[in-house]
Structure 1
């Protein structure tokens, strides 16, 4: 299965280089039944956004989405699909949507050798979903990272009027990587606060894996060793479920620290990402704990969907029913 983390890992190794909720939540933390905006993470439409961002955003708006979280881009030029922050904001708003957050890399991943299948065994990747066609990264511009370009990324986010800058992914396979990531998060969180925006970290399932040399997971270390007022979480519900975690329990452990969510679903094999409402994630239960989490915006996402527009349309319609 091609996941965001694997995809970003591959790209960065080569380069080496929504909904505003507080006013709508009642005393029990439940969402209203009235109509309200639903957000989209544009990584779901990665290929289409790099081919024709304006037309793709038009289709996103037509599907009903009103909130946008952007991802990194392969388009040459400026950081937002070839647009400056101000230009991209204008493009989104001209289509009746709001640009709320942007994903940036924490640090480039080091190149690691591909896994070698055992003698006589199946080839690597056997039994997984078919891979999408390979993309040509030979002319890809250098990818900005929070480690190397945090002030530039913060300044651009502020220029675009964003509410949050989010670390999409960062190496956390070793204690040294975790330590360095925590330093980057603290530094970025401080810069974001000065700029009047929030900072958050987006998890995958990996953050809940044990790391050699520690009794705690990367998730636990990141939350315990960063300032809760400077470093928030964007909880990806599907990756948390894949890791065997209950999102509501996570909210209760760190109340108010989850202003952003990724609304993603996963099938009962805990491997296959699918449209919202077509998997096992209990969205009703999660949204019932929105006040405990401190939820401000949420974004639908489906990593590398085969038919992105059809997938986001299905997810939007299913989510409206779930929250009705």
Structure 2
């Protein structure tokens, strides 16, 4: 009888140990989140073959999509419903969409007249909100807005607040995406802090670009601590040590392990790999995916 009891105890221990090992293995082997991509990374190729481009994205392991403007207009030449259907067919999850906050300012280094006319939150808020809502996605993101002067910052607060109200009524979460200039002083204040303090969290969250905030000399983790839960979306990309050239994830100076360790404090729900104007976009997003697996393991 004692041999039988010993056998049962040993068997139970082995079973429980096996379950614990299995759970632990799953816990540490499975990434915290699926990996998304901001399609601006593929701007040089996507308009030529939208479905073919998205199939390559799937093949590299990406699951979540964040769309941006297209030279074809609309959502890569489609309506929101059509693009949503294509993404679903390919097994992708369309999470968010980028729009312009206001018309582009004249730039001596770039002829903006070569671009198609884009709707902006300043002039077309309701049209944008209605269109994006038809796609069934969750987030509407302001990609940028003029903030060079105190008057522009004040106007930006008004535009973003109204966009947030319209988005909320439509069941969307409105989000603001940064570059580095939001962290430069304008009339003694950082526009980023102005936005966070003057616009209610119920109306606007933030999409933190990890590369641009690092270039600005600001610690993302400290931002998360100061404004917990305000950062449901991230842009994940890298910079060289001189902060002159954007790079695939893991090839530059951004401390991704430290930042991802604070994801819960940030309130992060989704993140998107981005490489602006990547010279070889597919090679770039493959390298980013390979390095992210190490970060998330």
The TM-score bracket by the shorter chain reads 0.7 to 0.9
Determine the structure 1 residue equivalent to 2:188. 215
Gaps of 5+ in 1: 1-30, 115-133
Q: What is the CA distance between 1:47 and its match in structure 2?
A: 1.4
Question: Which residue of the other structure, out of 3, 28, 34, is the alignment partner of 2:30?
Answer: 34
Query: Alpha-carbon deviations, 1:156-207, whole Å to 9, x = none?
Result: 1111011100000111111111111111111111111111110000000111
Query: Alpha-carbon deviations, 1:252-271, whole Å to 9, x = none?
Result: 11111000000111111122
1:99 is paired with a residue of what secondary structure? strand
Question: Which residue of the other structure, out of 86, 97, 104, is the alignment partner of 2:99?
Answer: 104
1:91 aligns with 2:64: no
Count of residue correspondences:
270
Distance 1:168 1:100 in 2: 15
Q: What is the CA distance between 1:251 and its match in structure 2?
A: 0.6
1:44 aligns with 2:41: yes
Query: Alpha-carbon deviations, 1:26-46, whole Å to 9, x = none?
Result: xxxxx9541442000000001
1:72 aligns with 2:72: no
Question: Which residue of the other structure, out of 234, 244, 258, is the alignment partner of 1:285?
Answer: 258
Determine the structure 2 residue equivalent to 1:187. 162
Contact 2:106–2:112 at 8 Å: present in 1 too? no
Q: What is the CA distance between 1:112 and its match in structure 2?
A: 4.3
Q: What is the CA distance between 1:151 and its match in structure 2?
A: 0.8
Contact 1:242–1:271 at 8 Å: present in 2 too? no
1:238 aligns with 2:235: no
Distance 1:54 1:291 in 2: 34
TM-score normalised according to structure 1 size: 0.80
Q: What is the CA distance between 1:141 and its match in structure 2?
A: 3.1
Distance 1:270 1:201 in 2: 22
1:109 is paired with a residue of what secondary structure? coil
Alpha-carbon spacing, 1:304–1:142, altered in 2? closer, same or farther (3 Å)? same
Contact 2:104–2:112 at 8 Å: present in 1 too? no
Gaps of 5+ in 2: 1-26
Alpha-carbon spacing, 1:32–1:84, altered in 2? closer, same or farther (3 Å)? farther
Larger radius of gyration: 2
Distance 1:33 1:154 in 2: 39
Q: What is the CA distance between 1:109 and its match in structure 2?
A: 2.5
1:206 aligns with 2:181: yes
Q: What is the CA distance between 1:113 and its match in structure 2?
A: 4.1
1:269 aligns with 2:242: yes
Determine the structure 2 residue equivalent to 1:126. none
Determine the structure 1 residue equivalent to 2:284. 311
Greater share of helix: 2
Distance 1:201 1:287 in 2: 20
Distance 1:112 1:290 in 2: 36
Contact 1:63–1:313 at 8 Å: present in 2 too? yes
Contact 1:208–1:243 at 8 Å: present in 2 too? yes
Distance 1:33 1:252 in 2: 28
Contact 1:39–1:68 at 8 Å: present in 2 too? yes
TM-score normalised according to structure 2 size: 0.87
